[in-house]
Structure 1
């Protein structure tokens, strides 16, 4: 018998809003991935994906908007990220699997929302990786110039659409993506060890920057504190917010963490504390050492903090050390964000919303090699040909939407599955997640309208793919047609128990 129009509509509605049950299998299975990461390695993933972008070169994007009040922008972004981090910690302990906010949305808000969040995450991680790779190219040139008096030719160190000095391709950025992809193919534990070493080096270098910059501190640089008012502060906070992507990166590793219910919350909160402290110290010392107007100089934007130190000391050696630290630091950012995107694709493929090839894991290396190659090719093209200035706010909007969804997910999961064991519970519930949502919405309001236009276009493409292909191939859809139970080992919620 053919379905009536009403039945078809009900069926489509059921498909769109079906949720993936949080079963024992969901919480324990790693689907071929190796559980090799501990709390410290995971925390270094968060720091590695975060520290490097905001302090090394986004200052030159945000300071012209806010002036010295960019410190307030950092605080605002940090508060929003911190409140959201508490929600991440609870969700990561309740649903400790790969996939980050995508997996959390699938378990709490429904399949169509999960697909939309997945689109945000893929945009966030892909564009962020390309953005930091482009910034790495500038610091590499600065380092080569200081050490050997040579630089990569302009034709091979900037893309064809670069507004300042267009070239053919940003070859160093493409090279960085390729090296990170090769390292990730070798294994997660190997990548984690390399990242930990690089994080320790970058923190030491940033400590040196703060110490030297404070020797030239001039309080008069803060006189015109907020030249563009609240609007400028909010715009800068939106630009800065993408640098907190590292907090989300921790939650992409759920299937590769030993004791994830305990390790993931600790890693997320530990990374937040380290990152916020470093950001504020660097921002205050940099603004005290240089008038805020100089941060808008296009020539100074490339390897800006290294040039700032050279001006302070009157010699090249501090800039050389900072450039070397930045080269190492941004390498670790690229490594972790590339890792995060491959694991999100793995989770989506495992659920049947992408072709099964995305869920394949190499038997030898225990890594999703297909995903790594695909992501590296796409990100490499972006990094090689798209200018840096066009990337920041797109990453921020994806990050903000993901942070909003995870806070909503905490509220929903508290109501629908209060029985789930949680290694961490959000303090001040329900006020904390509600304030987190409100702060993220406030920062979203400060982004440019064209950012929303590009974001809406990308989201429409992802949802179209889901409606045409994904919903029919979803594992939940196949299970429903086969009449298989989905939640056979879930405990009823307390309010449903007799």
Structure 2
């Protein structure tokens, strides 16, 4: 390590954009050992974004968010979508300027310094790992709904719910994570193709829900529209914001996308439009088809609404089966995103070198996949859904805030950098994105901040105990001033 740098200089050293791009193999489309393989096109990347987003919350979050906002949960989805939309434009510019793995971790490293980047990396790991766990928790709910409707039996609560939710361990969640890990270990190309098929199934069943659910729509269920006031709308929007995590997942694939400067911004925008339209349509249908007081504690809620509306079991059976497939897709993509963030941090020396190793056969970080799978399975098996969802929202909002600030910083420090997309109405859009993110952060619950504080405390120990000494920018020849 260079001995001439002060601690402050080491904490704020930035990684040159040119170095980030060169390491990714972007300039030479490298496919040899040490580079992730560029095998993903626009359709598959859009499917990754939609797959990680649609369903992340919509399949189960209404049971926790509607009791907080009432029918006005529709406004909560709109508020979250506006925040995500502003941030998506910032992501599109950053992804087109720095088309590498690591998402907002890599963007922060290039614009705001090492210690900020490490903190963002921890937020991303929490965002992806915890959200994958939250999603996996709900898989058992829909599995039981399907078994009950189709075969007349359910798995016992003791092995389908974590402590705090009426059980001891969530074994279906563990099985789901294991299946996703096995598929990801086989390679990203195979995973992307399977995901694209599952996304098509997901979109079809959500359209089915809207079409069938609207037959039971009653305007009386929308009155009173905002029983808990605007404060309830804010709290619900804060909780469901993790439902937009897929926009970040697109940018984690930066080194595996063909023509990334064009493909990534398009995929982000396509994902946002599809997601927003579906979320709002499903939310309106759900609160119109069922009194808002009935949502609290309702498991596999969308399937139950279809059964109540039609008085028949077949729509609910089809929906529950589709949800089982869809939640598999979401979990797959979110675990994929976390492994790529670990890969970027390992390559930078923020984590042990083993996290940066790729399989010679598949060109994927197999070690990362097993580590992430084990961590996600443990969380999903033993922690309740509500805490997991809120922690994911906080990690997502922090990461989104950093990306929006990064756009402003990079415009000032590297105005000459090639950008395949530029944020319109600059700097209004990134500043508005930061403002909306902070507003939603203030609506999260106290326990979420406690858990977040513990996570950051662990991050501080890791950074000062390992990362600051092993950072690749700690080498004397590293240029830590150029951005």
Normalised to the residue count of structure 1, the TM-score between the two structures is: 0.93
The equivalent residue for 1:466 is: 463
The equivalent residue for 1:194 is: 194
In 1, the alpha carbon distance for the partners of 2:401 and 2:479 equals 31
The equivalent residue for 2:400 is: 403
Q: Does 1:162 align with 2:203?
A: no
Q: How many residues align?
A: 474
Deviations 1:368-398 (A, max 9, x none): 0000000101111111111112211100000
Q: Per-residue deviation at 1:27? A: 5.5
The equivalent residue for 2:233 is: 233
Q: Does 1:243 align with 2:243?
A: yes
Deviations 1:227-270 (A, max 9, x none): 11111000000011001000000000011111111100000000
Bigger shift: 148-157 or 283-292? 148-157
The equivalent residue for 2:387 is: 390
The equivalent residue for 1:332 is: 329
| SS of 1:266 mapped into structure 2 | helix
In 1, the alpha carbon distance for the partners of 2:223 and 2:124 equals 39
Q: Per-residue deviation at 1:28? A: 3.4
Deviations 1:16-38 (A, max 9, x none): 00000011514635632111001
The equivalent residue for 1:11 is: 6
In 2, the alpha carbon distance for the partners of 1:231 and 1:225 equals 13
Out of 46, 54, 74, the residue aligned to residue 71 of structure 1 is 74
Instruction: Report if the CA contact (8 A) 2:355-2:365 is conserved.
Output: yes
Instruction: Report if the CA contact (8 A) 1:218-1:289 is conserved.
Output: yes
Instruction: Report if the CA contact (8 A) 1:54-1:279 is conserved.
Output: no
Deviations 1:260-319 (A, max 9, x none): 1110000000000000000010000111100111111x2xx2111101110100011010
Structure number, greater radius of gyration = 1
Q: Does 1:185 align with 2:182?
A: no
Q: Does 1:55 align with 2:52?
A: no
In 1, the alpha carbon distance for the partners of 2:178 and 2:447 equals 31
Q: Per-residue deviation at 1:53? A: 2.5
Question: Please, which runs of 5 or more residues in structure 2 have no aligned partner?
Answer: none
The equivalent residue for 1:496 is: none
Q: Per-residue deviation at 1:366? A: 0.8
Instruction: Report if the CA contact (8 A) 2:13-2:480 is conserved.
Output: no
Q: Per-residue deviation at 1:153? A: 2.3
In 1, the alpha carbon distance for the partners of 2:45 and 2:22 equals 23
| SS of 1:419 mapped into structure 2 | coil
Out of 79, 104, 109, the residue aligned to residue 106 of structure 1 is 109
In 1, the alpha carbon distance for the partners of 2:159 and 2:432 equals 46
Instruction: Report if the CA contact (8 A) 1:235-1:447 is conserved.
Output: yes
Deviations 1:387-423 (A, max 9, x none): 1122111000000000000000000000000111000
Q: Per-residue deviation at 1:468? A: 1.6
Q: Per-residue deviation at 1:486? A: 6.6
RMSD: 1.5
In 2, the alpha carbon distance for the partners of 1:485 and 1:331 equals 43
Normalised to the residue count of structure 2, the TM-score between the two structures is: 0.96
The equivalent residue for 1:434 is: 431
Q: Does 1:284 align with 2:287?
A: no
| SS of 1:56 mapped into structure 2 | coil
Instruction: Report if the CA contact (8 A) 2:472-2:478 is conserved.
Output: no
Runs of 4+ residues deviating >4 angstroms:
484-487
| SS of 1:256 mapped into structure 2 | coil
Q: Does 1:115 align with 2:112?
A: no
Out of 119, 142, 146, the residue aligned to residue 143 of structure 1 is 146
In 2, the alpha carbon distance for the partners of 1:442 and 1:389 equals 20
Question: Please, which runs of 5 or more residues in structure 1 have no aligned partner?
Answer: 494-498
Q: Does 1:345 align with 2:342?
A: yes
Q: Per-residue deviation at 1:330? A: 0.7
Q: Does 1:419 align with 2:409?
A: no
Instruction: Report if the CA contact (8 A) 2:24-2:101 is conserved.
Output: no
In 2, the alpha carbon distance for the partners of 1:400 and 1:223 equals 31
Q: Per-residue deviation at 1:138? A: 0.4
Q: Per-residue deviation at 1:335? A: 0.3
In 1, the alpha carbon distance for the partners of 2:24 and 2:130 equals 30
The equivalent residue for 1:224 is: 224
The equivalent residue for 1:377 is: 374
Q: CA separation of 1:27/1:376 partners in 2, compared to 1, >3 Å: closer, same or farther?
A: closer
Matches within 5 A, 1:354-369: 354-369=351-366
Q: Does 1:444 align with 2:446?
A: no
In 1, the alpha carbon distance for the partners of 2:308 and 2:82 equals 33
Deviations 1:318-365 (A, max 9, x none): 100110111011111100000000000000000011000000000001
